[in-house]
Amino acid sequence: MADSTLSTNPPAGAGAQGGRLDVDALISDRCNHLGPSGIRKIFEVAATLRDPINLSIGQPDFPVPVEVKEAAVEAINADHNGYTLSAGIPALRRRIGEHLAHDIGWSNVGAPDSDTGLIVTTGTSGAIHILMMAILSPGDEIIIGDPYFVAYPHMASVSGGVAVRCPMYPDFRMTAERVEPLITERTKAVMLNSPGNPSGVVMTRRECEDVLDLCRAKGVLLISDEIYDEFTYRDAREPAGLAGNDDPRCPSPCRVPGSESDVLLIRGFGKTYGCTGWRMGYAAGPRRLIEEMTKMQQYSFVCAPAPLQHACVKTFDVDMMPTVDRFQKRRDYVLESLRPHARIETPGGAFYAFIELPEKLGMTGTEFSHKAMERNLVCIPGAVFSDQDTHIRISFAVDDVKLERGMQILAELLAGG
């Protein structure tokens, strides 16, 4: 016999509307306040073009090194396909620690008795996400440069925080002088991205030191997003003497002695080794902070992909400088082709150029991008990366034939053709 206390018509909840599910009512304020990625919108339009000259994609156009791919296959065949520790497999953590000791002078990174922690993450974006979840409470602030990597402000808002923009025009350098007026009692961190996306600009060693000194004086965490650290061109590298290593390397605040107590370093494998889809990165810094990030990873991504962790051990044995040198030649070709028509700050790393549109065109970056698509060329408007729309970003991670054709079209458009 049916229980008379049960109703066949339960009360309507937030997601009910006339007996049908009201999906709009289910969606959180967090999602409603978050727009779709501007880059993804461009990708959708590009997909409708026939064989476009696509200068929009921030993805290397070279294959993963053979030995790294073979290591991934071997790991899969060896059944390294289950969960790992949330902080990463010991072999990769050990290799990262050895690399950081040599590269920036941080010792015993990730060791049980060390004050410097280490976590392997699901890409650098995964690292940034769990970091912001770990440090930002509602209303807390994180200072980011403008222009910025597209995810920064949205990751902050998803975490309940506020991304405070630091204007970096026209040279795209996040200097201490520009950051200091923005620090308030709610500031938790400053995000430094060098080489930068979208500009490719590389901070000098002195500029990195000054930002670190400011953060130390204010009791603020400095986050150094160095996803392009190995993808730094020779003319932007400086001797890394502060870490006892004089090899020319990408300038970093992490090379300052004792910086491991004040800086959260984020690096990854995707851009340097062409394995962006593997989603592999890592973070190192104050142990207490890494412990909280590990907690956030446990309740979100769980761990980075197991077989690919094994494969990334092999990356430290691969010399990618010949590839970086080849991209430096592409960069030089872009500057040679476009500088007669527009202002471009020299990219010291990554594979982007952030091009200021000439005033005579009377066009926003969005308008120029649409005009370029009429010529079957895809680029990204500056508004995707910034609160202003005066530039476009191009990626020169494309084959030389398309790059040459793309430069011809852009030069004509920038000249007013």
The CATH number assigned to the domain holding 180 equals 3.40.640.10
| Separation between Cα atoms, residue 337 and residue 328, nearest integer Å | 14
Please state the rounded mean pLDDT for residues 314-327. 97
- 312 and 393 in a single domain? The answer is no
Whether 9 has a pLDDT exceeding 60, the answer reads no
Q: With pLDDT > 90 as the criterion, what percentage of the chain qualifies?
A: 86
Q: With pLDDT > 70 as the criterion, what percentage of the chain qualifies?
A: 94
Residue count of the chain = 417
- 138 and 241 in a single domain? The answer is yes
User: What are the pLDDT digits (tens) for 67-87?
Assistant: 999 999 999 999 999 999 999
- 140 and 222 in a single domain? The answer is yes
| Separation between Cα atoms, residue 131 and residue 296, nearest integer Å | 8
| Separation between Cα atoms, residue 58 and residue 56, nearest integer Å | 7
* Residue 309 forms part of a structural domain: yes
Whether 132 has a pLDDT exceeding 60, the answer reads yes
* Residue 226 forms part of a structural domain: yes
| Separation between Cα atoms, residue 101 and residue 194, nearest integer Å | 20
* Residue 265 forms part of a structural domain: yes
Say what the alpha-carbon torsion angle 344, 324, 205, 254 is, to the nearest 10 degrees.
130
User: Which pLDDT value is given to residue 12?
Assistant: 53
| Separation between Cα atoms, residue 17 and residue 23, nearest integer Å | 9
User: Which pLDDT value is given to residue 203?
Assistant: 98
- 173 and 148 in a single domain? The answer is yes
Question: In which domain, by residue range, is 306 found?
Answer: 67-317
- 218 and 103 in a single domain? The answer is yes
User: Which pLDDT value is given to residue 413?
Assistant: 98
Flag the least confident range among 39-43, 64-68, 135-139, 328-332: 39-43
User: Which of 279, 299, 317 is the last residue in one of the domains?
Assistant: 317
Whether 18 has a pLDDT exceeding 90, the answer reads no
Q: Are 309 and 88 in contact (CB under 8 A)?
A: yes
| Separation between Cα atoms, residue 374 and residue 380, nearest integer Å | 14
User: Which pLDDT value is given to residue 50?
Assistant: 84
- 192 and 226 in a single domain? The answer is yes
Q: pLDDT band for 45, please (50, 70, 90 cuts).
A: confident
* Residue 23 forms part of a structural domain: no
- For the domain that residue 341 is a member of, what is the CATH number? 3.90.1150.10
Please state the rounded mean pLDDT for residues 173-201. 98
User: Which of 289, 317, 345 is the last residue in one of the domains?
Assistant: 317
- 326 and 311 in a single domain? The answer is no
Q: Are 159 and 131 in contact (CB under 8 A)?
A: no
User: Which pLDDT value is given to residue 44?
Assistant: 75
Whether 306 has a pLDDT exceeding 90, the answer reads yes
Report the number of distinct structural domains present in the chain: 2
Whether 374 has a pLDDT exceeding 70, the answer reads yes
| Mean pLDDT score across all residues of the chain | 93
- 357 and 246 in a single domain? The answer is no
Whether 299 has a pLDDT exceeding 60, the answer reads yes
- 181 and 299 in a single domain? The answer is yes
User: What are the pLDDT digits (tens) for 227-263?
Assistant: 999 999 999 999 876 545 568 999 999 999 999 999 9
* Residue 17 forms part of a structural domain: no
User: Which of 274, 298, 317 is the last residue in one of the domains?
Assistant: 317
Whether 1 has a pLDDT exceeding 80, the answer reads no
Whether 15 has a pLDDT exceeding 80, the answer reads no
- 205 and 344 in a single domain? The answer is no
User: Which pLDDT value is given to residue 280?
Assistant: 98
Please state the rounded mean pLDDT for residues 211-220. 98
- Tokens 């010991």 correspond to 90
- 305 and 344 in a single domain? The answer is no
Q: Are 134 and 289 in contact (CB under 8 A)?
A: yes
* Residue 116 forms part of a structural domain: yes
- 248 and 333 in a single domain? The answer is no
pTM here is: 0.92
* Residue 21 forms part of a structural domain: no
How many CA atoms lie less than 13 Å away from 402 in the CB half-sphere? Answer: 16
* Residue 343 forms part of a structural domain: yes
Q: pLDDT band for 4, please (50, 70, 90 cuts).
A: very low
